[in-house]
């Protein structure tokens, strides 16, 4: 059986105020062509289909169009789960009806973990779908109060799911989680404000293949058969050097897999350049004009009049200018990337220290973490 593994589309995403739906539509047209060219027999989408719980209408229409073309035109079954950006309830709507049409969805975590089954020339392949599941949700659904962290909670659910699959059967897991050791980027929302959201890859070793979502950089996660496909496109300048794409997985009769990575080429790339202002304006060999989405890091130490307007002649889609060496009043300005790389909790802790002159104590940290987790949970459920 040959299937495609993709994830983290983040439909409806804004990038420095720019709506990306047109860019995403362009890439998904290429994705649909790859489904046909690769002769894929199924498509797996491992969560974060939308960028927020209540996506804009254009994003919903785009996803509807892609599903219609996959199911109605190409007759390719589709499996997808909710990620931490999605609304589990909205994404799972009418799932019991849709699976009759070849659309297999698991939005909300339930105690019923029965797998979906497809047949190929070698027999059945069991697909187990694990939507994003935070520890509090696992405790509520399964009534296991001892499952206090992501690792224990995920391990418990994976073990429960494995019991529904015959021993020795070929099986595929689809999950949205942070596997320990994975390479992160700044465009991924943390799964946990305080503590660790790491999950051991060992839980997935019993599967022929595990299709993961959440991390935006394509990568293995503890084994060649446990993989992140990466995001549909670059969603931060920290991802400028990454190659986005999808994984075509060939599953043989013995349960072994071969994975081919197919790159996706965007209409506008996300790029960054570094240099001095006058050189960027004058040296077209080193700094060619482009309509890609650009971050320019200027090395000049002095102020420059209308810097954005002048650089926009070279880079019409200039999104950001960093000035790490800008000297103001004899003090070196702190690099913007140091602030951007911090979590919401770290930024608030810095703010608290600046306002009060004292670091937050353990009790205040606990209140902050609990409050932010409640906010993130409300966002996922579309209540904020």
Same domain as 208, residue 320 = no
CB atoms within 10 A of CB 352: 16
First to last CA, the chain: 42
Same domain as 366, residue 298 = no
Same domain as 283, residue 200 = no
Q: For residue 373, what pLDDT is reported?
A: 66
Q: For residue 329, what pLDDT is reported?
A: 47
User: Tell me: the pLDDT tens digits for 195-218?
Assistant: 457 899 999 999 999 999 999 999
Same domain as 236, residue 104 = yes
Give rounded-to-5 percent helix, strand, coil for the chain: 30, 25, 45
Contact assessment for residue 217 and residue 236, using Cβ atoms and an 8 Å cutoff: no
Same domain as 315, residue 205 = no
In the sheet that 103-106 helps form, which strands lie side by side, from edge to edge?
A: 103-106, 78-81, 42-45, 2-6, 245-251, 257-263
Same domain as 33, residue 147 = yes
Residue 240 is part of which domain span? 2-263
User: Tell me: the pLDDT tens digits for 8-53?
Assistant: 999 999 999 999 999 999 999 999 999 999 999 999 999 999 999 9
pTM, whole model, 2 decimals? Answer: 0.84
User: Tell me: the pLDDT tens digits for 94-116?
Assistant: 666 677 789 999 999 999 999 99
**How many domains are contained in the chain?**
3
117-137 exposure pattern, b = at least 16 Cβ within 10 A, e = fewer: ebeeeeeebbbbbbbbbbbeb
Same domain as 21, residue 130 = yes
**Domain stop point among 337, 352, 371:** 337
pLDDT at 366 over 70: no
Same domain as 350, residue 201 = no
DSSP per position, 94-156: THHHHGGGTEEEE-S--S--PPEEEEETTEEEEEEEE----HHHHHHHH--TT--SHHHHHHH
């Amino acid at each position: 059986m040959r299937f495609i593994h993709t994830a983290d589309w983040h439909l409806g995403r804004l990038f420095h105020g720019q709506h990306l739906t047109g860019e995403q539509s362009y890439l998904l047209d290429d994705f649909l062509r790859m489904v046909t060219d690769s002769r894929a027999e199924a498509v797996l989408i491992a969560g974060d289909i939308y960028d927020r719980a209540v996506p804009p209408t254009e994003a919903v229409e785009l996803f509807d169009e892609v599903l219609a073309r996959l199911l109605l035109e190409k007759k390719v079954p589709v499996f997808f789960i909710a990620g931490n950006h999605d609304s589990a309830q909205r994404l799972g709507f009418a799932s019991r009806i849709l699976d009759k049409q070849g659309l297999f969805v698991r939005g909300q975590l339930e105690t019923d973990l029965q797998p979906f089954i497809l047949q190929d020339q070698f027999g059945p392949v069991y697909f187990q779908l694990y939507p994003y599941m935070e520890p509090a949700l696992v405790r509520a659904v399964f009534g296991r109060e001892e499952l206090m962290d992501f690792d224990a909670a995920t391990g418990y659910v994976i073990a429960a799911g494995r019991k529904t699959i015959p021993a020795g059967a070929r099986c595929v897991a689809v999950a949205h989680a942070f596997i320990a050791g994975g390479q992160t980027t700044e465009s991924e929302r943390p799964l946990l404000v305080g503590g660790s959201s790491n999950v051991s890859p060992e839980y997935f070793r019993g599967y022929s293949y595990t299709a993961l979502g959440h991390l935006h950089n394509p990568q293995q996660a503890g084994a060649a058969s446990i993989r992140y496909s990466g995001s549909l496109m670059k969603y931060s300048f920290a991802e400028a050097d990454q190659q986005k794409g999808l994984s075509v997985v060939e599953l043989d009769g013995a349960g072994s897999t071969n994975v081919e990575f197919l790159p996706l080429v965007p209409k506008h790339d996300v790029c960054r350049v570094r240099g001095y202002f006058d050189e960027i304006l004058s040296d077209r060999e080193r700094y060619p004009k482009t309509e890609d989405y650009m971050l320019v890091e200027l090395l000049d130490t002095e102020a420059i009049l209308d810097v954005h307007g002048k650089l926009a002649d070279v880079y019409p889609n200039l999104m950001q200018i960093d000035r790490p060496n800008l000297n103001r009043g004899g003090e070196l300005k702190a690099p913007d990337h140091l602030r951007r790389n911090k979590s919401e909790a770290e930024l608030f802790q810095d703010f608290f220290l600046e306002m009060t002159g004292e670091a937050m104590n353990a009790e205040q940290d606990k209140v902050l973490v609990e409050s932010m987790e409640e906010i993130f949970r409300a966002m996922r459920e579309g209540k904020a």
